Amino acid sequence: MQDIGNLAEALAEARQVKRTPFAWKHLGRDKTIILVFFNSSLRTRLSSQKAALNLGMNPIVLNVNGDSWKLETELGVIMDGDKSEHLREAIPVIGSYCDIIGVRSFAKFEDRDAEYAETIINQFIEYSGRPVISLESATVHPCQAFADLITIDEYKTKARPKVVLTWAPHPRALPQAVPNSFAEWMNAADVDFVIACPPGYELAPQFAGNAMVEHDQMKAFEGADFIYAKNWSSYSEYGKILSTDMSWTVGARQMAVTDNAFFMHCLPVRRNMIVTDEVIDSPRSIVIPEAANRVVSAQVVMKRMLESM
């Protein structure tokens, strides 16, 4: 978020990119971007490739754990297990084949300090010799949060809308990256921001900032203009599932106390866990345009990188 700078300027640039996506095709001529995925993806993979193509770049995707050797990420280990290659060699090799690198590497919930120090993406920044785009790292998903901000900016009907980030139940432990980034960006944006979650799900203080935290979901939803649902695992009891309370599933009951709020989710979403069919299928659900804006957010970031080369 610090790298994007002034948010009003970034939003103006996003509107321009959305209007004329091919106007900067010359920037990426003879430039290559390699997108490295340690984890699954639908949106990030495709929207990043599309953004690169709109800018005239050649995108190459590498699926670590699928296409390449399994990569060791820890320093100082004896590599006698199933990992054939170390990041220390793989990163500069990848860097030698491209001009920009994108990396997706989720939290594994093994070591909170190491994950919150972003040891994997920081190795890419240090050893690749290339500008690096986060495609969701251990603690943040900035291209998602930027797309979310673009979407809120498009759909808002009030100068300062009320935006609620709500926790919702999920069968598996999920990273805090999406809610961390959403909180970080909403705290910086011109919105009235509230985080609703069960006790024990408070986000790390550097991301929660001064946002109001509400443990009563119905109270948080009152008068809201945007409901942003997401599951995440506990930060304080790192990576743990502390609640599976299905009363937090976003349904018509909660949406009824909002100010006819729009429903948002970064996707992929589990229906009738995070949100009921009724809400996600309603005309107030903007999850598809939100996902479409992932091309715009990625393209603004890549465009700025190309312009500074």
State the residues that interact with ligand AN0 by CB under 6 A.
Answer: 136, 174-175, 177-178, 266, 268
Residue 166: closest CA among 108, 204, 219: 219
Cα of first residue to Cα of last residue in the chain, in angstroms, is: 20
Minimum distance, C-beta of residue 269 to ligand AN0, in the bound complex (Å): 8
Token duo for residue 92: 């500069």
CA distances from 47 to 4, 68, 164, 253 (A): 19, 22, 26, 34
Between 213 and 292, CB nearer to ligand CP: 292
CA distances from 146 to 132, 149, 161, 231 (A): 16, 5, 17, 19
Please choose which of ligand AN0, ligand CP, none residue 174 contacts, taking the beta carbon within 5 to 8 angstroms, the exact cut-off set by kind: ligand AN0
Which span (35-43, 51-59, 167-175, 215-223) binds ligand CP, by CB under 6 A?
35-43
Minimum distance, C-beta of residue 111 to ligand CP, in the bound complex (Å): 23
Q: Are 274 and 265 in contact (CB under 8 A)?
A: yes
Residue 213: closest CA among 243, 189, 170, 183: 183
Minimum distance, C-beta of residue 261 to ligand AN0, in the bound complex (Å): 21
Identity of the amino acid at 194? V
Given candidates 1, 242, 267, 269, which one binds ligand CP under the rule CB under 6 A? 267
> What is the number of the residue whose Cβ is closest to ligand CP?
44
Given candidates 4, 11, 14, 41, which one binds ligand CP under the rule CB under 6 A? 41
Between 146 and 221, CB nearer to ligand CP: 146
> What is the number of the residue whose Cβ is closest to ligand AN0?
174
Between 130 and 141, CB nearer to ligand CP: 141
Query: What is the C-alpha to C-alpha distance for residues 54 and 169, in angstroms, rounded to an integer?
Result: 37
Residue 30: closest CA among 99, 79, 128, 102: 99
Minimum distance, C-beta of residue 16 to ligand CP, in the bound complex (Å): 23
Q: Are 258 and 236 in contact (CB under 8 A)?
A: no
By CB under 6 A, tell whether 266 contacts ligand CP.
yes
Between 267 and 273, CB nearer to ligand CP: 267
Between 72 and 143, CB nearer to ligand CP: 143
**DSSP 3-state assignment of 229?**
strand
**DSSP 3-state assignment of 212?**
strand
Minimum distance, C-beta of residue 76 to ligand CP, in the bound complex (Å): 31
Minimum distance, C-beta of residue 211 to ligand AN0, in the bound complex (Å): 19
Would you tell me which residues interact with ligand CP (CB under 6 A)?
A: 41-44, 136, 144, 266-268
